[in-house]
Chain A
Amino acid sequence: MTAPHAPARHTTTARPAGRRPDESMTLLREVTERPLDPGYALMARRRAEAGETTSRRGTASALGLLLVAVLLGAATTVAVLDLRAPQPLVTKGRTVLMEQIQERSAEVESLSRRSAALSSEVDGLQGAALLPSALVEINELDRWVNGAMPVRGPGMVVKLTDGAGGGLVDPGDAPAESRVRDADVQFVVNELWAAGAEAIAVNDQRLTSLSAIRNAGDAILVDLQPLNGPVYTVEAVGDPEDMQVEFARSAGLGFLQLLSAEYGIEHEVTASEGMDLPGAGSPTLRYAHSERSGGAQETATPRASARATAEPTQSVRTAQSMQSTQDRSEEDNG
């Protein structure tokens, strides 16, 4: 009496023939179990039926296949090469920016050359036509003191280098305090003036009595011209021995040591035998008045009327000028 139940129980638990537990997932099964293109198997079966081991085809068909294969190979290679190339838009943008920078820099350079040429022309005209002979000499001396003319002579050089990788690391990584700031350069310049410097240039940018050294963002500007870091070179023309003694006696060295100890800003103080400092060009004529005495001639004397951060504090005298070897060091000391 138990026998009829057994087959019945069996049929309820048994699966219908040909069904699988994952039947509802035929798509996935198809993908995972039969990845080989069924075309290969079909072709093989056909060949077997025809009794061939390798397929034979005509020249035209072979040529067509070859052509398709060449095209596909080339297309894939080109696609891979193209994908591996850097993003074209980014590159294009960078190229455009680089071109613009170079273009503008060249423009600035040619304009500054023109400015220098024009100001020397102005100087010549002023010296020749406007000034009475008594004032020519004073004007000349003024222009040395003002930094308008290039000078050459011995002196000392102070170099400040940005800390932490020298500014060559990613700006985001370098701590902002480790960079040289305007106040550092100002301090060094002022100490050099105090030590008896006669002419000073920062990164070949001559300081005049109107020069300002200040920060704009991360850059240090001297007379609105940005300086290129990470090394800032302050060149001072003067008596090297006196200047070094005075500089060592001043707060300058202590300040430099503090900078290197606190912020890793490196410094280097050296004496130099012969330095060429460029001229800054004539200052703009801001004020002129007529002199009635003597020949009642119109005179115009460029005068520096403002005080700047790099103002000489003690004495200013020019070293041997390129044009003249006149020395007036005695008259304005003290």
Chain B
Amino acid sequence: MIAIVGLVIGVVAGLVLQPTVPLILQPYLPIAVVAALDALFGGLRAMLDGLFDDKVFLVSFLSNVVVAAFIVFLGDQLGVGGQLSTAVVVVLGIRIFSNAASIRRHIFKA
């Protein structure tokens, strides 16, 4: 519950304040957003499974975003930034898809 309330407050704060993102962080934004989506879907599925836990949710959220950004950073340094971004997007995309399928089974029983 704490996690959801906090996220909502954060979203509202972000919408109201609209701070500018430093130029250095710009390349990591797309992948960070995909990682955040993955964590959100995972949390939703856990909630439907009855296993939801604030701490696990937030830690997975944070680590997803940080690790995804770090992989892209590493790729940029090694000159394979584009390919590594694709890899991250593929893995996270598959996870999002199967989590979404699980959520759909919970909701529609089909």
Contacts and interface: CB of A to CB of B under 8 A. Distances in A.
A146 B15 CA distance: 64
A83 interface: yes
Given A32-B94, A43-B55, A78-B21, A37 B14 contact: no
Contact of A35 (B19, B51, B56, B95): B95
A44 interface: yes
Interface in B1-52: 2-11, 13-15, 17-21, 26, 29-30, 32-33, 36, 42, 45-46, 49-52
How many interface residues does chain A have, given as a range? 35 or more
A31 B51 contact: no
A216 B17 CA distance: 49
Interface residues of B, number: 47
B102 interface: yes
Interface of A: 31-33, 35-37, 39-44, 55, 57, 61-62, 65-83
Contacts of A69: 2-7, 9-10, 54, 58
Contacts of B72: none
Contacts of A32: 94, 98
A39 B56 contact: yes
11 contacts: A35-B42, A35-B102, A37-B46, A40-B42, A43-B51, A73-B8, A75-B32, A76-B36, A78-B21, A81-B14, A82-B21
B91 interface: yes
Contacts of A42: 56
A71 to B, nearest CB: 6
Interface of B: 2-11, 13-15, 17-21, 26, 29-30, 32-33, 36, 42, 45-46, 49-56, 58-62, 65, 91, 94-95, 98-99, 102
A35 B98 contact: yes
B42 A72 contact: no
Contacts of A71: 10
A57 B56 CA distance: 13
A39 B46 CA distance: 10
Contacts of A68: 6, 58, 62
Given A69-B4, A70-B7, A74-B14, 5 more contacts: A36-B42, A69-B3, A77-B15, A78-B19, A79-B21
